[in-house]
Structure 1
């Protein structure tokens, strides 16, 4: 997805809350399929089932996904799964302030160095 796609997602984030952040997001599915059609179908099917579990709301799941990205640090940057997860969280109603607070919280459990770079990447994604 391009930077303009991310800007559009951020604009629409206030009004686009999905019941299932994977199965209801056609742009996400198309982006996954553009990597590889079989990969996209597999991700949509498996992640869609996980995101469809009923007890944890979509916004919380999206914030958990970002926390996992902070810990893993293998795919953080514009155009990465991290960027898609930031936008997914915002589509589900998370605010920039909540994501920044999550990064601060993650300093304690993932390490300051892992969280530090995420602030810069967040700025790149949202500005």
Structure 2
């Protein structure tokens, strides 16, 4: 079942952020939790937007990968792999093919090869 607030209702996410750094985790939870609590854009759409930003910012690798966390968040909010793949294809046009290909690779690492 999707969370009402993908940050404030996800204790596992909060614990992972605090594991990176306790103050960082607390700060992210408070600030992002407030942003995710804004009422006009649904949680699934917000999660897909964060993936698009990860593509544009090239943030899909490394410890605490925002891309991995955002893929997980989107799927918890009801997004499908097919929707995420279509988003990555769409981002090829606006962020660049070379940025999107790395995200496709990381998506395969996270979810297994696409069929």
When the two structures are superposed, what TM-score results if normalisation uses the length of structure 2?
Answer: 0.93
Whether 1:52 aligns to 2:56 is: no
Structure 1 unaligned spans of 5+? 1-15
Q: CA deviation at 1:78?
A: 6.4
Tell me, what secondary structure is at the counterpart of 2:5? Answer: coil
Aligned-pair RMSD on alpha carbons? 1.0
Tell me, what secondary structure is at the counterpart of 1:93? Answer: coil
Q: CA deviation at 1:31?
A: 0.4
Contact in 2 for aligned 1:22/1:28 (Cα 8 Å): yes
Match of 1:36 in 2: 21
Structure having greater relative contact order (Cα 8 Å, sep ≥ 6): 1
Residue of 92, 96, 112 corresponding to 2:77 = 92
Match of 2:93 in 1: 108
Structure 2 unaligned spans of 5+? none
Runs of 4 or more above 4 Å deviation: none
* 1:66-85 alignment, distance < 5 Å: 66-73=51-58, 75-77=59-61, 79=63, 80-85=65-70
